[in-house]
Amino acid sequence: MRILKRARTAALGLSLCLLAAALPADASGKPDYVIRENFFVGMITDIFMNMSDYRGKTIQYEGFVLPITAENFGEGPEKFAVVRIAVCCGPDDMPIGFACMGKDVPPENAWVRVTGVLQERDLNNGEPPYPYLDVQELEVLTKRGKQKVAM
């Protein structure tokens, strides 16, 4: 009788674990991926290279707000990006991060934590679609991280 009772308890526990594992990431309130400062360039690069692995996933990271204008990015619904500066050899430093949609534009150069669902937009110009964040949360922070990160 005890063995049967323990088996039922174990089966119930296993069922609850499997149910929790099957819940979507947003049900727990936690992002699928948090991009940390030390791995920023590598992780952003991996997302761009393997978009199919990340599409629809919730991403969170910190960076500074870079406005997007028609002059520097073309016409589109994206009005800002959250980026850091990727530092390489020589004068080739460049912003790296994602264009953002779905929230009002925060102040230029504000340090923010952004959380959003990674999507793709096709410009229909023969180039591959590019990733952007459909922003779910955006928090302006007072403490800044490293603006420049090594490649």
Within the chain, residue ranges assigned H as helices are 2-22, 25-28, 40-49, 51-54, 70-73
- pLDDT tens-place string over residues 63-81: 999 998 766 556 667 789 9
Residue ranges of domains in the chain: 1-25, 31-150
Going by pLDDT thresholds of 50, 70 and 90, the confidence category of residue 137 is: very high
Question: Given 2.40.160, 2.70.98, 1.10.860, 2.40.50, which CATH number is that of 31-150?
Answer: 2.40.50
Going by pLDDT thresholds of 50, 70 and 90, the confidence category of residue 135 is: very high
Helix or strand or coil: residue 143? coil
Backbone phi and psi for residue 108, each to the nearest 5 degrees, phi listed first: -55, 140
- pLDDT tens-place string over residues 104-123: 889 999 999 999 999 998 77
DSSP readout, 27-50?
HHT--SEE--GGGHHHHHHHHHHT
Going by pLDDT thresholds of 50, 70 and 90, the confidence category of residue 92 is: confident
CB 147 within 8 Å of CB 126: no
140 contacts: CB under 8 Å, gap ≥ 6: 106, 107, 110, 111, 112
115 contacts: CB under 8 Å, gap ≥ 6: 31, 58, 59, 60, 135, 136, 137, 138
Q: Which residue has the tokens 């949609």?
A: 101
